[in-house]
Structure formats: structure tokens, C-alpha cells
Structure 1
Amino acid sequence: MVNGESSVNNNSTRIAALIIATLANFLTPFMSSAINIAVPAIGAEFAANAIILSWIPTSFLLAAAMFAVPFGRIADIHGMKKIFNYGVIIFTVASLLSALAPSVVALLLFRILQGIGGAMIFVTGLAIITSAFPPQERGKAIGINLASVYIGLSLGPVLGGIMTQYFGWRSLFYSMIPLGVLIIVISVWKLKDEWAVCKGEKFDFKGSILYSIALVMLMYGFSILSSTLGVIMLVLGILGLVGFVICELRVESPVLNIKLFKNTTFAFSNLAALINYSATFAVVFLLSLYLQYIKGFPADYAGLILIVQPVLMAVLSPFAGRLSDKFEAQIIASAGMGLCTIGLAFFAFIDANTSITFIMIGLSILGIGFAFFSSPNTSAIMGSVQKKFYGVASAMVSTMRLVGQMLSMGVALMAFSLFIGQVQITPAQYPGLLHSIHVVFIICTVMCLVGIFASLARGKTHNNG
């Protein structure tokens, strides 16, 4: 009877863990993709310039990337559920504050706070699922969890556009509040377990500060790489990360255990994730400009075309996760990276006369490829480390995603500054815009091609969980 009760409790914990992590994983991508649609409305209300407006989505990404690894370590020491709950509370409160923001500067500050809450959610949600599920069921659970990310990305532009048009941009932030409250209620009521496998160990404040500052300089420098300041910031960021690695190798309880990267599965799976996000994140941004400027489509119609990719990602991620439970994740993820390469290559050839069917085929290939890469790759990363490193491993998954997204946007911004310049996009700039899009997609295709080899180099995956 005791065993039966234990089995029921374990099953209840797994279901609760999957529900709260999946709902939380919907929050942040939905907000991130919806806010892009709302930026013009925010600019109109606050009379903000284009540079400040670009920081509304970027400030969230920067804050989340800065705090992901430190909070991963804090969660390992003080408990996954505790940090997760605090993260959802901070995200929800920041959403309320953003909805009430009296100025664009206040909105940026609240977006930074939202990014800190987002980092706490990113690093613990995946780690809670990995802790709650046995290795033979983990891939399926991670696949379902990742599907919620893609559903959020899919619904963001469509619902975000409708909400902004009919209820104002502040409604996007208000909509996050009831969902945040629901997640907290389920977590407190149903999730009884706590995971703190490094309890009592010291937290590395010096390493955390050095890491955060170096990462900000690196990402900010890359986003303005065409300027002298950008090059200086990039060099300082690289030097800061080198200093961080040296520092971490000498600390007894490092915020990031550098020795984890001696594990080829962990190291190359993270590298493959970084390359994949760097190559694919700017696709929707670039195609949105292409469809609205070059093709002259309205925003809602462009959004319906672009929805093809995330919908396929959402539908196929659980299936890809199940496959990785049964077959070698290395092969499935590498095949997915190969499909991403083909999808990106499609867009390197688009021009003003390219058919929508051609665009949708490219997006479909990319969506299928990303689904078959992401779930198995994430499962491989989490399965390659011991339980005591789940928080840090989960943080690395989030950091690779966030840094990759920033690098992807950095490549796009660099191309725009070289071929268009800091001017408003008018029909006179359309040839420069099209040239920029071609160059970025060629760079991204080559990056993804290299990513196939990084994915294959990890070797066979061994679950340590």
C-alpha cells in the first residue's frame, strides 16, 4: 500500500511539475513575441525614438541572460521550487507595473525586472521537470514543455496584434497577471517536493557579478558592432568571460562549474544550441519586414504566414522528444539541424517576386527542423549531468538561447547598418533591405551547417539522471 501511495504521489508530483513549468514556459515567449507587435503603439503614446523602442524587447533579453546562470546556482543551493515561485511572483508584479508605466523609461525598468523574473522561471522550470521525471520519460516531458514555448511564440503576434488594436498595448501586460497567479496557486497547492541538491554550499558572488557584466558588454557590443564603441565593448566582454573562466576554476563552489564542459555531450550540445538560436531567431524579424515592406502585406496577414513555423514546432516537439527517449538523441538533433540549414538556404534566394508558397515551404522545413533539433538536444544536455547540476545545466540551456537570440539580432542589425544606415525604411531603401536579408540568411545558413558538425561531435548520449 505504501508503495502504491508513493507511486501515486510521484505521479501527482510529475503532473503538477509539468503543468506549472509548461504554463510558465508559455508566459515569457508569448510576452516577447507579442511586445514586438505593440512597439509602434508604445512609441506613439510616449513619442519615443527608434533606439529607445528597440530596447523594449532587448532589455528583457539582456536582464534574463545576465541572471540565468547565477539563479541556476542559487536554485541548486536554496531549492528549485522556491526560486521558481519567486520568479513567477516577480514576473507577475513586473507585468502589473509595466501595464501602469507612466513613461517609456519606467517601462524599460519594469521590463528589466520582468527579465529577472523570467530568468528565475527559465532556469528552474526545466530543472524541475528533469528532477521529477525518470530518464526514460524525460524527453517526452521536455518536448511537451518546449511545445508551450512555441505555442507562446505562435499566439504572440496574432493575439498581441488583436489585443493591442482593440484594448491597447497595456492589455498585454494585464493578461499575464491571472496566468501568473494560477501558476503560483498550483505550485503551492500541488507541488510538495523541493529540490536543493547543493544545500549548504557557498554562493559565488564575485563570479556572478563578473559573469553578468561580461555578458552585458559582449551582447551590447555585438548589437552595435559597426561602431568603434561596439568593438571595444565586444573585446572587453570577451576578456571578461576569459577572466570569469579563470576565476571559476580557482573557486571551491563556482557559480558555473567549468569542468562540466569536459563532458563532450554537455559542451557540444550547448554549442549546437547556441549556433541554432543564433542562426534561426532573426528569421521572423527579417521575414516580417520582407512581407510588410517588399511584398506590401498588412501586419495581420504577414503574421498568419509567419505562424506556420512555430505551429509546426509546437506540434512536433513532443513527438521529437519521445523519439529521443527511444533512439539516439545525437542523430535526431543533427538531422533537425540539417533541416534548419535547408530551410534557411531557401530564404537566401528570395526576391520581390518570390511566391508565398515558396516562403511557407521554407518556414515549414525550418519549423520541422527546429522541433527535431531542440527537444532531443535539450534532453541530451539535461541527461548528461548529475542531479546536483540540474539548475546550472538548465541555466546554460536558457543562456545559450538568450545569447543566441541576441547574436542573431546583432547580425541583422549589423547588416542593416552596413547596407541601409540609420534612416527610415522607404521604397528607396528596399534594394538595400533585400540585400541585407540575403546577406543575413547566407551567414545563418553557413552557421547552421557548422552546427550540424557540432551536434554530431557530441558523441552518444548517456543519461546520468
Structure 2
Amino acid sequence: MLSTEKSCKPENSISNRTVALIVATLASFFTPFMASAINIAIPAIGSQFAADVILLSWIPTVYLLAAAVFAVPFGRIADIYGMKKIFTYGVIIFTISSLLCAISPSILTLIMFRVLQGIGSAMIFVTGLAIITSVYPPRERGKAIGINIASVYIGLSLGPVLGGILTQYFGWRSIFIAVIPLGLLVLALTVFKLKGEWAECIGEKFDIKGSIIYSIALVILIYGFSILPGELGIILVILGVIGILAFALFELRVKNPVFEVRLFKNITFGFSSLAALINYSATFAVVFLLSLYLQYIKGLDPQMAGIILVAQPIVMAITSPVAGRLSDKFSPGLIATIGMTVTAISLLCLTFLTANTSFEYIITVLLVLGFGLGMFSSPNTNAIMGSVEKKFYGIASATVGTMRLIGQMLSMGIALLVFSVFIGNVLIEPSNYPALLTSINTVFLICTILCFIGIFASFARR
């Protein structure tokens, strides 16, 4: 394997940069596409398997949980053994697990295969961004990151639309089948076209004990959060927090830690990571909540619901590359703070949803939300990746992915908690639509408060 410092750097040529960007961008497309598409299909899955809302919520949640648990360990493994190698294996696992999800005979097996899919996603997330950061010079990095993040939003935008069409005409299983050809294409380009390897920590040991402590603590924390406000949930959340603190203390004493905790002493890295965590915690559940709202409260079919939900990610996809370019010229922190502020205002508007809210109002708010998220994500990611040395690119990329995934997971956890309080473990029927609407409004209010806190975190790193 070649180090980016010790080689003649053929992997940093303009042509290879282009291949790296294409490969990472395509992979960044189909993973969020799967996440958003499956959200629109949840009512159909629930109907086929006669599953309650809590069990259905685990379909997106276990995917995020698995990805979050494995992101940090695979970020470190990629630094040691090579970004391209881990990326390739990730694409293989994701593609195979998509096929397994498509043929799942029950909701429990579907959830199990979603865990495997989450592992593959973690391997893709932590290496794709790191590869782009490795091959692009700082003056062009923001633009490349912006394009990469734009592909994430394009995946999010096409997910509800294509997911709705596929679900309505071919069934929810077709969503998983649709990503398999794209996975094979990315695999072929990576193996045959992408040259070189990126591994700055060759020969260093992998911290197995730290990885185990981190994984167990995170699983306990998230599972405990999902079963709040029960007594067992409170106990598990406390144990999870203690486990995370123990992990941080353990990593400070390890020669080659799986996660370099000292990176958080870097003001830019620390506050940018915190801002990302808050932003995703406040916004990821939007598609899930509005999918339920549009299909149950407003009575739309999956296709029409998807067409409405596409407004947000389309604006995100347009805004993100522009914001990335701006972050190459101006303060990434300032641009990201503006985006966080706009996001908070749009979430506040969603707290006023009623059964009679017009579609024009919903679409307008989604457009504003998309602009805010697009202005935040690219500059914030550029700030994180640009604040560390090359040998930490893998773990920095893992941090970006972990903050996103934990944030997304907490966002779903908030929704699960509120649903359990207002609705309970029952099927969604017309008789409990008022409770569903109250739950949705409550979640949006909590997310609004989180996002306003995030404004201060984003501004502090300037």
C-alpha cells in the first residue's frame, strides 16, 4: 500500500481526483437514497407485516445504530490498512445486504439485514470523504466536498419520489433491488479505475478494547433512549453515558487509540463536530414525521407524499456546492452558522402543523429548510476536515459520519420517545390520528429548541 506522503502521488493526479470524486459521490448517493426511500415505504411495510409504529421505527433506527457503532472503528482501520480497501469492502457488504433485505420473509429478518446494511454504510461513509480530502488540495477541497454532499441530498431528494413510485407500483422490496446495480457500478469503478491507496498509519496497532467499549456503550445508550420513559430506559441511558465517559478516559491512556479524543481540544474540530451532531439530531426525523403526517393525516398515497417531500433535498442539492465554494473563500463557520439559523426558523414553522395545513405552506417551509441545511453541511464538513493533520483524515471522516449518524439516531430516538408517550405500542388507526398529530408537533418543537442551541455551538468555533 502507498502512503500519500511517501509515494510519487499518481493517485493525486487530476484524472484520479476525478475518479475518486465520482466513486465517492455515487456511493454517497445510494446510501441516503436508501434511507429516505425506505421512510416513505414504512406504512406499506407495516401493512404487510402487521407491525406497530414502534417496531416500524426500528427499520431506519437499527440501520443508523449499526452505522454509528462501526463508523469510528472502521475509520481507524482505514487509516491503518487503507481507505480504498475498506471502501471496497463496504460497497460489497452494502450491495449484498440490499439483496437480503429485498427477500426478507419477516420484519425481524428485515431489521437484521438492515443492521448489516448499516455496517456497509459505515465503511463507505468514513472512507469516501477521507479519500476526497486526501486527493484534493485545500484550495479545491470545499468545492469537492460540496459536490459530494450535494450527491447526498440528491439521493435524499430522489428517495421519496422514486421510493414512492416503486412502493406504489412494484412494492417496497423493489427499493432495495434498485440500488444493487449502482452498487455494482461503484464496485467496478473502484477496483478497476481508482488508482493508489491512502493509509497514513501503516503498522500501528488497532485498539480492539477501545472499540468494544465504544460499541457496547453506544448500543446501551441508544437502546435505552428508545425505551424511555420506562425505568429500564433510564437505567440504560445512565449506563450508556458512563460507558462513553469510560471510553474517553480509556482512549487517553492508549498509545494508538481507536479514536483520538485529544482532537476535541481543537476548537474548530470540537465545536464543528458538536454543531453537526445537533443539526442532524434536529433535522433527520423530518422526512419520517412528514411521511406519516402526509399519508395518515392528509390521506396521500406514497407517490404524492414523496413528491411533496422532494422539495427540501432538491434545494439542499443546489445550495450545497455553492456553500462549499464559499467556504473555500470565506469563514466556513460563519456560513454554517447562517445555515443553522435558517434551519431553526424553518423547524419552528413546522411546529404549527394541523390537519388543515395547506400543502403550499408545507412545501414553502421545506424549501427554506433545504436552503438552511445546504448552507450548513458543506462548510461545516470542510471546517472539520481542514482542521486536522493527514494522519487523522480517516478518524476525522469517521467523526463527521459518527456525528451525522448519532445525530440521526437521536433524532429518531426523540420521535420514538414522543410516540411511546402519546400513542403507545399500537397500530396507527384513524382513532389515534389526533395523538399522532400531537406527537409530530411535539417532536418538531423539541427539534427547534435543539437547533437554536446549535446556533451558539456553530458560532463559537469562529
Q: TM-score, normalised by structure 2?
A: 0.94
Q: For each residue in 1:105-155, what CA deviation from the matched residue of structure 2 results, as whole angstroms up to 9, or x when unmatched?
A: 333322211111111000000000000101111111111101111111111
Q: Identify which range, 12-21 or 37-46, moves more after superposition.
A: 37-46
Q: 2: distance between equivalents of 1:54 and 1:257? A: 33
Q: 2: distance between equivalents of 1:249 and 1:155? A: 43
Match of 1:407 in 2: 410
Unpaired stretches in structure 1, ≥5 consecutive residues: 460-465
Q: Matched residue of 2:196: which SS? A: coil
Q: Matched residue of 2:375: which SS? A: helix
Residues 279 and 445 in structure 1, CA contact (< 8 A), matched pair in contact too: yes
For residue 219 of structure 1, report the CA deviation from its aligned partner.
Answer: 1.1
Residues 45 and 172 in structure 2, CA contact (< 8 A), matched pair in contact too: yes
1:224 pairs with 2:227: yes
**What is the aligned length?**
455
Q: 1:198 aligns with which of 191, 197, 201?
A: 201
For residue 7 of structure 1, report the CA deviation from its aligned partner.
Answer: 8.6
Match of 1:80 in 2: 83
Judged with a 3 Å threshold, the aligned counterparts in structure 2 of structure 1 residues 97 and 400 are, in CA distance, closer, same or farther, namely same
Q: 2: distance between equivalents of 1:122 and 1:141? A: 15
Q: 1: distance between equivalents of 2:289 and 2:59? A: 18
Match of 1:367 in 2: 370
1:421-440 paired onto structure 2 within 5 Å: 421-440=424-443
Q: 2: distance between equivalents of 1:120 and 1:321? A: 24
Q: 2: distance between equivalents of 1:47 and 1:420? A: 17
Judged with a 3 Å threshold, the aligned counterparts in structure 2 of structure 1 residues 146 and 235 are, in CA distance, closer, same or farther, namely same
For residue 85 of structure 1, report the CA deviation from its aligned partner.
Answer: 0.5
Unpaired stretches in structure 2, ≥5 consecutive residues: 1-7
For residue 304 of structure 1, report the CA deviation from its aligned partner.
Answer: 1.4
Judged with a 3 Å threshold, the aligned counterparts in structure 2 of structure 1 residues 304 and 427 are, in CA distance, closer, same or farther, namely same
Q: Identify which range, 236-245 or 90-99, moves more after superposition.
A: 90-99
Judged with a 3 Å threshold, the aligned counterparts in structure 2 of structure 1 residues 71 and 454 are, in CA distance, closer, same or farther, namely same
1:240-251 paired onto structure 2 within 5 Å: 240-251=243-254
1:53-452 paired onto structure 2 within 5 Å: 53-452=56-455
Judged with a 3 Å threshold, the aligned counterparts in structure 2 of structure 1 residues 161 and 63 are, in CA distance, closer, same or farther, namely same
For residue 431 of structure 1, report the CA deviation from its aligned partner.
Answer: 3.1
Matched AA of 2:395:
V
Judged with a 3 Å threshold, the aligned counterparts in structure 2 of structure 1 residues 109 and 441 are, in CA distance, closer, same or farther, namely closer
Residues 223 and 406 in structure 1, CA contact (< 8 A), matched pair in contact too: no
Residues 165 and 302 in structure 2, CA contact (< 8 A), matched pair in contact too: no
Matched AA of 2:380:
N
Residues 68 and 395 in structure 1, CA contact (< 8 A), matched pair in contact too: yes
1:453 pairs with 2:460: no
Q: 1: distance between equivalents of 2:153 and 2:270? A: 25
For residue 319 of structure 1, report the CA deviation from its aligned partner.
Answer: 0.6
Q: For each residue in 1:294-348, what CA deviation from the matched residue of structure 2 results, as whole angstroms up to 9, or x when unmatched?
A: 3333332222111110110011111110010111101100000000011011112
Matched AA of 1:434:
L
Q: Matched residue of 2:13: which SS? A: helix
Q: For each residue in 1:32-80, what CA deviation from the matched residue of structure 2 results, as whole angstroms up to 9, or x when unmatched?
A: 1112233344444445554443322222111111100000000000000
Judged with a 3 Å threshold, the aligned counterparts in structure 2 of structure 1 residues 295 and 19 are, in CA distance, closer, same or farther, namely same
Q: Identify which range, 271-280 or 414-423, moves more after superposition.
A: 414-423
Q: Matched residue of 1:116: which SS? A: helix
Q: 1: distance between equivalents of 2:400 and 2:9? A: 31
For residue 98 of structure 1, report the CA deviation from its aligned partner.
Answer: 2.3
Q: TM-score, normalised by structure 1?
A: 0.94
Judged with a 3 Å threshold, the aligned counterparts in structure 2 of structure 1 residues 360 and 219 are, in CA distance, closer, same or farther, namely same
Q: 1: distance between equivalents of 2:430 and 2:179? A: 38
Q: 1: distance between equivalents of 2:374 and 2:238? A: 34
Identity of aligned residues (%): 67
Judged with a 3 Å threshold, the aligned counterparts in structure 2 of structure 1 residues 106 and 435 are, in CA distance, closer, same or farther, namely closer
Matched AA of 2:219:
V
For residue 288 of structure 1, report the CA deviation from its aligned partner.
Answer: 2.3
Judged with a 3 Å threshold, the aligned counterparts in structure 2 of structure 1 residues 6 and 83 are, in CA distance, closer, same or farther, namely closer
Q: 2: distance between equivalents of 1:33 and 1:293? A: 18
For residue 415 of structure 1, report the CA deviation from its aligned partner.
Answer: 1.9
Judged with a 3 Å threshold, the aligned counterparts in structure 2 of structure 1 residues 51 and 441 are, in CA distance, closer, same or farther, namely closer
Q: Identify which range, 102-111 or 219-228, moves more after superposition.
A: 102-111
Matched AA of 1:367:
G
For residue 162 of structure 1, report the CA deviation from its aligned partner.
Answer: 1.7
1:25 pairs with 2:38: no
Match of 2:3 in 1: none
Q: 2: distance between equivalents of 1:170 and 1:293? A: 21
For residue 187 of structure 1, report the CA deviation from its aligned partner.
Answer: 1.2
Judged with a 3 Å threshold, the aligned counterparts in structure 2 of structure 1 residues 89 and 239 are, in CA distance, closer, same or farther, namely same
Q: 2: distance between equivalents of 1:44 and 1:287? A: 18
Q: 1: distance between equivalents of 2:190 and 2:60? A: 28
Q: 1: distance between equivalents of 2:335 and 2:365? A: 20
Aligned-residue RMSD, C-alpha: 1.8
